[in-house]
Amino acid sequence: MAALFRGSRNIWLRWNKHADFAFVSLRSMASKTPVGFIGLGNMGSPMATNLLKNGYPVIATDVFPESCKELQDIGAQVVDSPADVADRADRIITMLPSSPNVIEVYTGPNGILKKVKKGTLLIDSSTIDPAVSKEMAKAAEKMGAVFMDAPVSGGVGAASLAKLTFMVGGLEEEYEAAQELLTCMGANVVYCGQVGTGQAAKICNNMLLAIGMIGTAETMNLGIRLGLDPKLLTKILNMSSGRCWSSDKYNPVPGVMEGVPSSNNYQGGFGTTLMAKDLGLAQNTATNTKTPIPLGSLAHQIYRVMCSRGYANKDFSSIFQFLREEEGQ
Ligand code: NAD
């Protein structure tokens, strides 16, 4: 039902230079109406850029005006607040750091829901607590709007190349409308189920990633201590049952692989703070559902300690360096 409202406000007249006549493009009418984008950070900025590249007018905002400048220079219209975005767009994507920012942007005094129009599609791609996604969906529904969670896997590089994977939760009948926009920014879009399930999938993946990375780092460190060459050990692991993404594609030992953060002083990539945040979400959801996650809990504590010991802004594979520094203490 909500989908009926979207795109119906704007009729796009297109001038066909070749045939020399104007025509109403029903397809453009439905698909190229402005898209709102809130949160122009490391991920949001390249994602919004890809919407522009696909011909969508973008109406954007961020609390830091300097974050908006780059996007404004390539054609986005920048406005003052999430409420102003909601006033001008009936499809809005948010890409914010964490749950409190999402609550503020949707339900705060200048939030989206202050001016949201009936039928607006709201897609939140931030990684947050699934319970908050459900809360936002209820609040949006009261205003006649539709909220979906669509967190991503893939970092800044994947965001720039439109190669993200989106895990989508929400009303199935709205999935197609969300997919239309998400395919401009990602290579894979997967429908997971009711609202909150996209976040659930994202949190589970990142918990396993953290556990795998810690396991790889301590295995590599032990092997090196036992006299093995790290490249040889990596080769053996990757042809044996110990192989995982962290050993094979994102090795945490400097010099073993090129083009990964460990070979660039752990710069770029996925920050330790963000990993600690995602593990905190896993811990909360596990506590709420009385699910045992002994290794996930331990991984959470390890990444929290790393944040307080100067690793907050390094890539999460710096766990290897952290373990080396802990040696002998
Ligand atoms: P970021 O901190 O670089 O960007 C977030 C942006 O949101 C900032 O520009 C900030 O100013 C803006 N913002 C915060 N509060 C706001 C408000 N009230 N109104 C308007 N703008 C506001 O974060 P990021 O790296 O782009 O990550 C965004 C989300 O994506 C996070 O939830 C993160 O966990 C997830 N994620 C990140 C990566 C990654 O590699 N960086 C990968 C996958 C998922």
- Same-domain check for residues 260 and 135: no
Closest CA to 67 of 95, 101, 86: 95
pTM comes to: 0.88
Average pLDDT over residues 104-117: 98
**Tokens 């965001």 -> residue:** 159
pLDDT at 217: 98
Residues 204, 169 share a domain: no
Q: Residue 307 sits in a domain of what CATH number?
A: 1.10.1040.10
> In this structure, are residues 218 and 195 in contact, taking their beta carbons and an 8 Å threshold?
no
Of the chain, the percentage scoring pLDDT greater than 90 comes to 85
Instruction: Tell me the C-alpha distance between 155 and 42, whole Å.
Output: 9
What is the tens place of the pLDDT at every residue in 46-73?
Answer: 999 999 999 999 999 999 988 899 999 9
- pLDDT of 233: 98
Q: Give the residue from 120, 260, 133, 113 showing the smallest Cα distance to 193.
A: 133
Q: Which of 17, 32, 202, 249 is catalytic?
A: 202
Q: Is the pLDDT of residue 12 over 60?
A: no
Return the structure tokens found at 203: 């949190």
- How many other C-beta atoms can be found within 10 angstroms of the C-beta atom of residue 31? 19
pLDDT in the model for residue 327: 75
Among residues 193, 216, 231, the one where a domain terminates is 193
CB 280 less than 6 A from any atom of ligand 1 = no
Residue to mutate, 43, 85, 129, 277, ligand 1, most ligand atoms under 8 Å from C-beta: 43
Length of the chain: 329
Give, to the nearest 10 degrees, the angle between helix 130-142 and helix 197-225.
160
Specify whether 7 is located in the same domain as 66. yes
Span 117-144, average pLDDT: 98
Of 232, 229, 264, the C-alpha closest to 250 is 264
If one counts the domains in the chain, the total is: 2
Task: Tokens for 193, please give them.
Answer: 């189920």
Residues 162, 250 share a domain: no
Do both 212 and 320 map to the same domain? yes
Cross-strand bridge partners of residue 268: none
Distance of CA 299 to CAs 79, 283, 294, Å? 40, 10, 9
Q: Position 302: which residue type?
A: I
Last residue of a domain, one of 137, 169, 193: 193
Average pLDDT, the chain: 91
Contact 36, 113 (CB under 8 A): no
**Ligand 1 midpoint to CA 322 (Å):** 26
Say yes or no: 218 and 183 in one domain: no
Q: 190, 186, 185: which is closest to 48 by C-alpha? A: 185
Quote the pLDDT of residue 6: 55
Do 219 and 189 share a structural domain?
no
Contacts of 318 (CB under 8 A, 6+ apart): 252, 261, 262, 266, 272, 306, 311
Does residue 96 have its Cβ closer than 6 Å to ligand 1? yes
70 Cβ closer than 6 Å to some ligand 1 atom: no
Do 160 and 274 belong together in one domain? no
- pLDDT confidence of residue 326: 83
Kindly state whether residues 186 and 238 are assigned to the same domain.
no
Determine the structural domain holding residue 67 and report its residue range. 2-193
pLDDT band of 146, cuts 50, 70, 90: very high
Mean pLDDT of 314-326: 96
Residue 93 sits in a domain of what CATH number?
A: 3.40.50.720
CA dihedral for 34, 35, 41, 42, sign (positive or negative): negative
Q: Which of 40, 42, 80, 313 to mutate to test the pocket of ligand 1 (most atoms within 8 A of CB)?
A: 42
CB 35 within 8 Å of CB 59: yes
**Same domain membership, residue 277 and residue 141:** no
DSSP-based three-state secondary structure for 152: strand
In angstroms, what CA-CA distances link 175 with 61, 196, 198, 285? Answer: 25, 14, 12, 25
pLDDT of residue 269: 87
What does the pLDDT read at residue 329?
Answer: 54
**In the structure, what pLDDT confidence band is assigned to residue 29 with cuts at 50, 70 and 90?**
very low
pLDDT score recorded for residue 131: 96
Note whether 127 and 239 are same-domain residues: no
Which amino acid is located at 285 in the chain? T
Q: Quick check: CB of 97 below 6 Å from ligand 1?
A: yes
Q: Are residues 223 and 320 in the same domain?
A: yes
Q: What is the mean pLDDT of residues 82-108?
A: 97
Q: Which of 140, 164, 193 is the last residue of a domain?
A: 193
The pLDDT of 191-218, averaged and rounded, is: 98
Active site residue 202: yes
